[in-house]
């Protein structure tokens, strides 16, 4: 689609904060960015590898990275923290070891903290993963979308919009389907809107899921 700007980027100055919060001179900026990318990928792969089959999906809402001179602080906002805490904090330490192995840098200590997100279904990332799971299990897409919206409505959101694009139901002709509940004012900058775009790979191709959640208005 050509016209809609990403609502997170649109609101960066006002209602939206950066997820990575650090400073580097322009000379060293790319190194910092690559570190960030490595940390994020490492964490996602680890959670995906070790998830238990029963709980189903990961539920990482956000990974916040703050860097100081001697310390890198990573805060993982996760919706269902059982996966990592059940192993008696072994999970966190293993994660830390894994991420540090990627690094080869001796100067900076790494600190990983896990925060639990209340109302996990109010976070678009977690909702998107839920829909992805449903679609992988060949549930009808409209049912999956409606169920996701129901889950979100239970957690006091003022509006939600879900969009799925691609070969829906495996049909040859791709299309875009969307459902909206409540109001989602994308043009209002002071409206807190959470957004997520998630891709699923099915046997028919790639489906893109976009979710907008209108949380609050200041």
Q: By the criterion CB under 8 A, which residues form the site for other proteins? A: 2, 21-26, 66-69, 73
Q: Which is nearer to other proteins, 73 or 96 (CB)?
A: 73
Buried b vs exposed e over 166-178: b needs ≥16 C-beta within 10 Å?
A: bbbeeeeeeeeee
Q: How far is the CB of 136 from other proteins (least distance, A)?
A: 28
Q: How far is the CB of 66 from other proteins (least distance, A)?
A: 4
Q: How far is the CB of 22 from other proteins (least distance, A)?
A: 6
Q: Which is nearer to other proteins, 7 or 159 (CB)?
A: 7
- Reduce the DSSP state of residue 132 to 3 states and report it: helix
Alpha helices in 50-196 (DSSP H): 82-85, 90-103, 124-136, 141-153
Q: Which is nearer to other proteins, 12 or 176 (CB)?
A: 12
Q: How far is the CB of 48 from other proteins (least distance, A)?
A: 28
With contact defined as beta carbons under 8 Å apart, do 154 and 120 qualify?
no
Q: Which is nearer to other proteins, 97 or 113 (CB)?
A: 113
Contact partners, residue 82, CB within 8 Å, separation at least 6: 55
């Amino acid at each position: 689609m050509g016209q809609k700007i990403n609502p997170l980027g649109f609101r960066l100055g006002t209602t939206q904060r950066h997820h990575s919060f650090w400073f580097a001179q322009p000379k060293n900026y790319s190194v910092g960015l690559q570190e960030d990318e490595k940390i994020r990928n490492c964490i996602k792969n680890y959670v995906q590898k070790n998830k238990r089959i029963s709980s189903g999906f990961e539920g990482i809402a956000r990974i916040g990275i703050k860097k100081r001179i001697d310390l890198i602080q990573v805060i993982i906002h996760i919706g269902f923290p059982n996966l990592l805490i059940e192993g008696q904090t072994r999970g966190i330490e293993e994660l830390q070891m894994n991420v540090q192995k990627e690094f080869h840098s001796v100067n900076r200590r790494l600190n990983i903290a896990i925060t639990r997100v209340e109302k996990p279904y109010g976070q678009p990332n977690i909702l998107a993963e839920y829909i992805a799971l449903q679609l992988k299990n060949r549930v009808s897409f409209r049912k999956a979308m409606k169920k996701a919206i129901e889950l979100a409505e239970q957690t006091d959101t003022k509006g939600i919009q879900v969009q799925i694009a691609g070969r829906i139901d495996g049909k040859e002709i791709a299309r875009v389907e969307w459902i909206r509940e409540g109001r989602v004012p994308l043009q209002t900058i002071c409206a807190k809107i959470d957004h997520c775009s998630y891709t699923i790979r099915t046997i028919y191709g790639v489906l893109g899921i976009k979710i907008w959640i209108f949380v609050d208005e200041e």
